[in-house]
Structure 1
Amino acid sequence: MLKDTFLSLLSNYSNNNSLHNILWEEIAHNYSNEQRYYHTLEHLESLLVQLTEVKDKINHWDTILFTLFYHDVIYNSLKSTNEEKSADLAVKRMQQLHVPKPIIEDCKNQILATKTHKLSEDSDTNYFIDTDLSVLGKSWEIYSQYYKNVRKEYAIYPNLIYNPGRKKALTHFLDMDKIFKTEYFYQKFEKTARENIQREIELL
């Protein structure tokens, strides 16, 4: 499903099938890195399913798809510039495909928005951010597997360093007026997300 969606997306802008396959292999390779436990192809698959459920609410579907595939394409738990580097690579690849500049710019902004999760004036950006955070509002079983996988990605850090940082990040969400910016995801996940986050904080 992921590969077919990606190749179909690229075919809207380029006839270079060889390039399309090279770019897919780059996506697959990056998201399959052995140091990734949460930011994986499975994560992309989950987001694609959920975005498809709200496709009728999305104004620019192609832009959202480019954002989906590239938002975590660069991921290093030791760095704080993953979003910027992912956005830069997305821009570079979309330019190779001759994607129109407005789509490239919107995609770049959406990827950068995943760093702060702030309310955006662009509704598509809000839908993407909400989808990216949807795991927070899933069942405790799914949520607990998520936070354990995130911990594995930061395995280099001892609890003495990791736990305060994680608690700060989680508290950041609880301090928000709304974790989820769209009405659809707010109604679906907000209550459970806050319960899950509070529960994890108590376990740290």
Structure 2
Amino acid sequence: MEWPEAIAALGGEPSAAGWARLEARYGEPHRRYHTLDHAAAVARDSAWLADVLDLGETSRALVAVAAWTHDVVYDAKPGEDERASAAWAREALKQAKTGEAHIERVTDLILATTKHDAPPEDALATALLDADLAILGAPPELYATYARGVREEYAKYPDDIWREGRVAVLEGLLSRTLYRSEAARTRWASTATANLSAELTHWLRARSDHR
């Protein structure tokens, strides 16, 4: 669901200016992976999952707005970025004259991406969180592009610091169930495990080479 359609479905008033502000944030020059293309991919994949999960129109719109705004603020500061994105979305929805209940739901969904956790019964969060991790199950060449992009976004960290942080992230991802829905597990899980394992092996070898 596109941004104007989603805003309208929530009873708001979509505007070209609102979309332009969102587009400008995702177009910031320091971004490499967390761009408008990423937001569009999450919106697309969460819409597919919303279909699978049989969500109603309002629920689909809530997920769509959260997908478009979940990384609208991105400065490579985990936790802070999600809170700032939720605040940005709140203000954008207020300007669009969206109801407070919908604003609260969208902000809660965005905040769920901080630790990628939500109650199991929260189908809207399932659609958003699984879609956000779809890149992990992409073909290896696309996954490699994603991994390079994230490294460039964290360019302020030297290689040894980045390597140890990335190893911890990858090990954490491999230790958990990545996807909440059966549909996402079927579509992405096996490739995601292979991609993550291959990248982890790369960084562990790099660690050994530097000892």
The normalised TM-score by structure 2 is 0.87
Count of residue pairs brought into register by the alignment:
197
Cα distance in 1 for partners of 2:112, 2:164 equals 24
The reply on whether 1:188 has 2:187 as its aligned counterpart is yes
> Which residue of structure 2 lines up, in the alignment, with residue 146 of structure 1?
146
Contact kept? 2:12, 2:93, Cα under 8 Å: no
For structure 1, the 5+ residue unaligned runs are: none
For residue 79 of structure 1, report the CA deviation from its aligned partner.
Answer: 5.8
> Which residue of structure 1 lines up, in the alignment, with residue 17 of structure 2?
22
Using a 3 Å threshold, how does the CA distance of structure 1 residues 190 and 14 change in structure 2: closer, same or farther? closer
Partner of residue 41 from structure 1, selected from 6, 11, 36 = 36
Deviation string 1:95-145 (CA, Å, 9 cap, x unpaired) is 222212221111111101111112433111011100000000111111111
> Which residue of structure 2 lines up, in the alignment, with residue 91 of structure 1?
90
CA RMSD of aligned residues (A): 1.7
Equivalent position amino acid for 1:165 in 2: G
Contact kept? 2:86, 2:111, Cα under 8 Å: yes
Using a 3 Å threshold, how does the CA distance of structure 1 residues 127 and 167 change in structure 2: closer, same or farther? same
* DSSP-derived class of the 2:157 partner: coil
For residue 44 of structure 1, report the CA deviation from its aligned partner.
Answer: 1.8
How do 1:1-204 residues align onto structure 2 when only pairs under 5 Å count?
5-12=2-9, 13-15=11-13, 20-56=15-51, 57=53, 58-59=55-56, 60-78=59-77, 80-120=79-119, 121-176=121-176, 178-204=177-203
Cα distance in 2 for partners of 1:78, 1:180 equals 24
Contact kept? 1:86, 1:111, Cα under 8 Å: yes
Contact kept? 2:25, 2:73, Cα under 8 Å: yes
Cα distance in 2 for partners of 1:192, 1:79 equals 25
Cα distance in 2 for partners of 1:14, 1:71 equals 19
Contact kept? 1:119, 1:181, Cα under 8 Å: no
Cα distance in 1 for partners of 2:25, 2:47 equals 23
Contact kept? 1:31, 1:40, Cα under 8 Å: yes
4+ aligned runs moved over 6 Å, structure 1: none
Cα distance in 1 for partners of 2:12, 2:185 equals 37
Cα distance in 2 for partners of 1:136, 1:160 equals 23
Contact kept? 1:31, 1:73, Cα under 8 Å: yes
Equivalent position amino acid for 1:22 in 2: A
Cα distance in 1 for partners of 2:69, 2:202 equals 32
